[in-house]
Structure 1
């Protein structure tokens, strides 16, 4: 039996218009799942949907701002109307706001917490009831290595990012304990530095930072596209039936202590 086979499963991916979210959506489809892709940029979602549909799987683009309850409610209703159920929820939508507690504005703080933490809460609020009813669900929350490891370079301080991603771990553990009896697993992944739309115009442009990262990382490089897909598929599949409330860091060994 292929424990990673997702045939017949319906997966929902937030932040699916680019980067790690889009990669995960493609990986789900490659394992046989039909996929609903949620993000604010509809035109980018449509491009990923076309790629997935070309493989023979069904895909649906759903505009959604995960920080707004009305938007989340409408998006989940649209997915259920199209597919009838949700088996897998990958909460990937997130932003990486720079700044310290001294320099961050209140709006920057609130926006980061709204997207990175409130967004997961809202998606789960509307997806979990159906999973509980059917006694099956796989929820995967994308946190970050920065949930447990601070950026130490002054130019790259991200206090609200650290805070929001640490909060994701607390929410993951709480939900995992509450819903295990309902056949729902809830786990989190902590990517290190990966190639993505979010990083290519920020961290990847800091030559000194990249040299430092590569010298300190045992793998001597950032993560490549697709290298998060294996852990995503593990937490999303029946291979994860007895694993819940866990956090796996995927960072090439950067966080080894």
Structure 2
């Protein structure tokens, strides 16, 4: 029998692992998946931030737990996979969201900063997807991987936005998403990416202060920045059976900025 729309979006009985989940976009996505019925494992580097985030989720009636891990470190990623599978069982949904940015002119960009951004934003996504895919999703021939990219990965920036490493890393995430979807489709694993536009957060605070909210919002046809609800629908679509025939795709959630600029 054909399922109802409510049944297609229902995540009851499923487990989601969300990286960079203690605040900002990751916590917003964790709320979306938890509100749809999923059990949530959150991870980020700082235990105190995770405790606060999990308390917030639990106050909303969501089954949530946490593990502190640095997703730029291979040993931490292996530990995260081990402990998540031990404590939660199989992972049905992996949200790769942990990320870093660095602003510096290309001609003076420090190599260590380039490596920091690439290790977390690209290498970390690959390593965790590999661990969860090989150990939980491929054996069961099912799974959803949602990678958080950015509209910065769709092209360049104006001269006053010196984020070469970040743009490059997010472009790599989009291609990684497409390539992995092509390989793992035969295992029933859907891999998609969300490309947020500008959302106020701790990571973007410097840009917000330098350019101003009004100026940034003026670039968007909708004349606003992203808020605490704007990623929920897309994340749930990609994580649920409502999106079961969607894979290898990216979707910009940016108020229309990429439509105007081409990325």
Shorter chain as denominator, the TM-score bin is: over 0.9
TM-score by length of 2: 0.93
2:184 counterpart of 1:205: no
- Give 1:223 deviation, angstroms: 0.8
- Give 1:210 deviation, angstroms: 3.7
2:131 counterpart of 1:126: yes
Alignment of 1:107-146 (within 5 A): 107-129=112-134, 130-146=136-152
Aligned equivalents of 1:5, 1:184: Cα separation in 2: 18
Change (3 A) 1:57 1:212: closer
2:153 to 147, 158, 181: 147
Contact 2:220 2:255 in 1 (8 A): yes
Aligned equivalents of 2:76, 2:219: Cα separation in 1: 41
**Any stretches of 5+ residues in structure 1 without a counterpart?**
none
Q: Which residue of 2 aligns with 1:192?
A: 197
Runs of at least 4 residues off by over 3 Å:
209-212
2:220 counterpart of 1:214: no
Question: Which shows bigger deviation, 45-54 or 139-148?
Answer: 45-54
Aligned equivalents of 1:67, 1:195: Cα separation in 2: 23
2:144 counterpart of 1:161: no
Contact 1:100 1:160 in 2 (8 A): no
Q: Which residue of 1 aligns with 2:97?
A: 92
1:230 to 229, 233, 236: 233
Contact 2:19 2:98 in 1 (8 A): yes
- Give 1:60 deviation, angstroms: 1.3
- Give 1:180 deviation, angstroms: 0.7
TM-score by length of 1: 0.95
What SS class does the counterpart of residue 108 from structure 2 fall into? coil
2:252 counterpart of 1:246: no
1:31 to 21, 32, 36: 36
Change (3 A) 1:34 1:47: same
Aligned equivalents of 1:36, 1:115: Cα separation in 2: 19
Aligned residues: 254
